[in-house]
Structure 1
Amino acid sequence: MPVQATEAQPYLAALRQWVSQRRADLSDVDSAILRLTPAEQTAITTDLTVALTFWKAINDRLTLLETTFDGGRVGPKEAERLSTLIHGRLDSNTTEHLSLPASGSLAVSLPEACRLLDSLTRTLQARASLAPGALEATQRITVLRAGAERVRDQVPLVPAGPERDAAAERLARLDRRVADLVERARRGADVGGIIGPLEIDLAMLERDLIVAAAERANAAQDRADTRQLVEELDARAEAIRSLERQCIAAVTPAPHLAIPNVRALGPVPQAAAELAGYRQRLDRVSRALDLAHETYAAALAERDEVVGLAGAVGAMLEAQLEAQLAAHRPAEAVRDDIDALRARLESVLAETPMPTVRARALAAAYQSYVEAVTRQPSRPGRAHP
């Protein structure tokens, strides 16, 4: 849905404030890392780099949003662009892939990236022994419970099966740990050592669910693209079969190549591993279709070339023959030879299918004879005394 100017203005202002706050949080984490041991620094630096990559992608998208908003000058097209920039993939405006350890490339929307950066920032703050804002345990517990609710909203989005069951079981364990933490805090116990690991585990679960959702969306798009490719290859194959029939009817000897049946590969698979193998087979089918297309088109082009050569030689003959025949004796014999060659060539060109080898040989002979009888005779040089 298009984003109206009255909605975009407060949204962009809040997003700008959020981006600034996250950058400050990550700077605090960066400073805190310097106080850790080298081994701890190595373990946390990778995640900090990922968080900074997300922050930069979000900040770049915010710049595009503010440029499109242009101080409130938003027409229908700009409103649609704002919506596309908010809900479109972030990796479309950066040369870097957004990535997480052991997850490969990741394409997410702006809201998903913001939630992921929140999760990563909380994890980094906990690992660097920083509190997300005030140090009071109650505030950290509030953030934990909010994170658990976000995860609870994402679990039903996972397709039914072992993956959803595993996510629900992880969430149930975290719920029990949060409930125990709340009860301990209510009794006045020191929960500072419990909150950090729980924050990390909850953030990891939320991250895993967002990554899995993005991967499912990418897989669905790959399957849709593959189905579209199958339709295109099937249409190409049918057109090449028509070209094959034309070639067999037009020339002899005609090439004979097997044109693959795309539908014989079966339906597009659902699993990612099977889909990759299916795409490889489609690539081989595409190359086979390219070869068949080039071969049949070249055979028809050769026929057209021979016909065009015969026509060009005939046109040259009509333009020059009458003026040149006077130089040959007897002229009637030359005319008879040319008429015989042309009649024979026209007879071969009229055959269906046309014998290409004979036609090309006769056209070459016809051309050579015409060039010979229409060539200007050489003048003898003057003798020197």
Structure 2
Amino acid sequence: MSAVAQGLPDPGTVAPTAPGRLGVPVQAAEAQTYLNALREWVAQRRADLGEVDRAVLKLSPAEQVAITNDLTVALTFWKAVSDRLTLLETTFDGGRVGPVEAERLSTLIHGRLDSNTTEHLSLPSSGSLAVSLPEACRLLDSLTRTLQARASLAPGAAEATQRITLVRAGLERTRDQVPLVPDGPQRDEAAEKLARLDRRMADLLERARRGADVGGIIGPLEIDVAVLERDLIVAAAERASAARSRVRTQQQVEELDARAAAIRALERACLEAITPAPHLAIPNVRALGPVPQAAAELTAYRARLERVSRALDLAHETYAAGLAERDEVVGLVGAVGAMAASASLDPDAEGDIAELRRRLDEILAARPMPILRARALAAAFSSYVDTATRPQPGAGRPATRTPATRPVRPRP
């Protein structure tokens, strides 16, 4: 007797169980079994969604609008799962799996599907969503059942027992998700919804035992169970994403705090080195307070961190430019002085250059250095040395001799 005839869920309609867990290498035999099952499941899911798509075209325009959004989301998940399957098969490479490939298979199975830009999942109600491959498969199962029910294509529609079994399986998966919700109003709300679904399920079973026709009430129950399961999976994925975001934000706070301390040291060095020195406020990263937990507050906190980062960049560039200007003036004076020392100059020029260099050395030795005077005197020093060492027009040419006049002989 077939599984459907016995009222059991068809194995081809449920995603295969993923082997291992994140960080545990997947052995070749486990990977081959999983990939074979996943390949068949992906093909079946695409066929199911294709049937839904064709059925939607027969619905009224209002019904099409209501179902098309969920169908688009389901197809997005299917594409992400299919793309990850391709990467898994490429890594598996027909069974040539070494230690590196085994770890890579584990990461591809249990890592996030949106870890690269080609696999970005989104839901209209919640924006970007980061889920693992098993979570995406479960979510796609739930979405597909919902779409099939709404399009009157639920698998085994003629067999109420099979549909009831699938709904009860969805309820159990949902029950496993509720304890994962943090204590508070959200968990209470999810538990209350699950309790209502349990009561509806109990009422449906009682009606079925009495021989009543339950076909009309299975569909709405299937949809509500699938929606609650989907919402809990989405919420769990968002909490995991928020936790990772908080960790990254805390790391950014530590990095910015270290940068701020270094820039304050740079500020002190600049104030001691030149006058007038720039004066910019260096923000205190710790004044922003601890990293918040709520997603909305975390987003605003990261925006403030970005403004702090830009302020630190500006302060760094400004104080570094002040020190660089001092070094430029000192380097110019040294180079021009070396050029003057190697040139042959007349005594007057040597005296002027020595006096300019003496005044420059006094200014350069001052702490803080008056940068405007130093720059002006360095420019004058450079210009004077350039003029004094430049060959003068006509210098070094031999004197022009006037040819001697021959005596004029008298004619005979």
TM-score by length of 2: 0.88
Q: Give 2:303's aligned residue.
A: 280
Contact 2:80 2:120 in 1 (8 A): no
Q: How does 1:293-304 map to 2 (within 5 A)?
A: 293-304=316-327
For residues 376 and 337 of structure 1, the distance between their equivalents in structure 2, rounded to whole angstroms, comes to 18
The percent of aligned pairs where both chains have the same amino acid is 78
For residues 72 and 283 of structure 2, the distance between their equivalents in structure 1, rounded to whole angstroms, comes to 48
Given the alignment of the two structures, is residue 212 of structure 1 paired with residue 235 of structure 2, yes or no? yes
Unpaired segments ≥5 residues, structure 2:
1-23, 401-412
Q: How does 1:134-173 map to 2 (within 5 A)?
A: 135-173=158-196
Q: Give 2:354's aligned residue.
A: 339
AA aligned to 1:370 is V
Structure whose alpha-carbon radius of gyration is higher? 2
For residues 282 and 159 of structure 1, the distance between their equivalents in structure 2, rounded to whole angstroms, comes to 27
AA aligned to 1:341 is L
Moved more, 145-154 or 43-52: 43-52
Given the alignment of the two structures, is residue 188 of structure 1 paired with residue 217 of structure 2, yes or no? no
Aligned with residue 243 of structure 1, among 266, 291, 295: 266
**C-alpha deviation, 1:311, in angstroms:** 1.3
For residues 38 and 245 of structure 2, the distance between their equivalents in structure 1, rounded to whole angstroms, comes to 32
Q: How does 1:11-90 map to 2 (within 5 A)?
A: 11-90=34-113
Offset from partner CA, 1:215-241 (integer Å, 9 cap, x none)? 111111221111111111100000001
AA aligned to 1:251 is I
User: Structure 1 residues 115, 230: CA separation in 2 closer, same or farther (over 3 Å shift)?
Assistant: same
Given the alignment of the two structures, is residue 98 of structure 1 paired with residue 113 of structure 2, yes or no? no
For residues 283 and 256 of structure 1, the distance between their equivalents in structure 2, rounded to whole angstroms, comes to 21
For residues 232 and 8 of structure 1, the distance between their equivalents in structure 2, rounded to whole angstroms, comes to 41
Contact 2:112 2:133 in 1 (8 A): yes
User: Structure 1 residues 104, 140: CA separation in 2 closer, same or farther (over 3 Å shift)?
Assistant: same
Offset from partner CA, 1:58-93 (integer Å, 9 cap, x none)? 000000000011111111111111111111111224
**C-alpha deviation, 1:292, in angstroms:** 1.2
For residues 289 and 100 of structure 1, the distance between their equivalents in structure 2, rounded to whole angstroms, comes to 37
Q: Give 1:357's aligned residue.
A: 372
Q: Give 1:119's aligned residue.
A: 142
For residues 206 and 100 of structure 1, the distance between their equivalents in structure 2, rounded to whole angstroms, comes to 15
Aligned length: 374
Secondary structure of the corresponding residue to residue 376 of structure 1: coil
**C-alpha deviation, 1:5, in angstroms:** 1.0
**C-alpha deviation, 1:103, in angstroms:** 1.9
For residues 158 and 248 of structure 2, the distance between their equivalents in structure 1, rounded to whole angstroms, comes to 50
Secondary structure of the corresponding residue to residue 90 of structure 1: coil
Q: Give 1:328's aligned residue.
A: none
Moved more, 17-26 or 91-100: 91-100
For residues 88 and 158 of structure 2, the distance between their equivalents in structure 1, rounded to whole angstroms, comes to 34
**C-alpha deviation, 1:255, in angstroms:** 1.7
Give the helix-richer structure, 1 or 2.
1
Given the alignment of the two structures, is residue 371 of structure 1 paired with residue 386 of structure 2, yes or no? yes
Moved more, 58-67 or 248-257: 248-257
TM-score by length of 1: 0.94
**C-alpha deviation, 1:146, in angstroms:** 0.5
Moved more, 171-180 or 97-106: 97-106
Secondary structure of the corresponding residue to residue 117 of structure 1: helix
AA aligned to 1:115 is R
Secondary structure of the corresponding residue to residue 378 of structure 1: coil
Unpaired segments ≥5 residues, structure 1:
326-330
**C-alpha deviation, 1:271, in angstroms:** 1.6
**C-alpha deviation, 1:163, in angstroms:** 0.4
For residues 347 and 94 of structure 1, the distance between their equivalents in structure 2, rounded to whole angstroms, comes to 61
**C-alpha deviation, 1:360, in angstroms:** 0.9
Q: How does 1:260-339 map to 2 (within 5 A)?
A: 260-319=283-342, 321-322=343-344, 325=345, 331-339=346-354
For residues 280 and 115 of structure 2, the distance between their equivalents in structure 1, rounded to whole angstroms, comes to 41
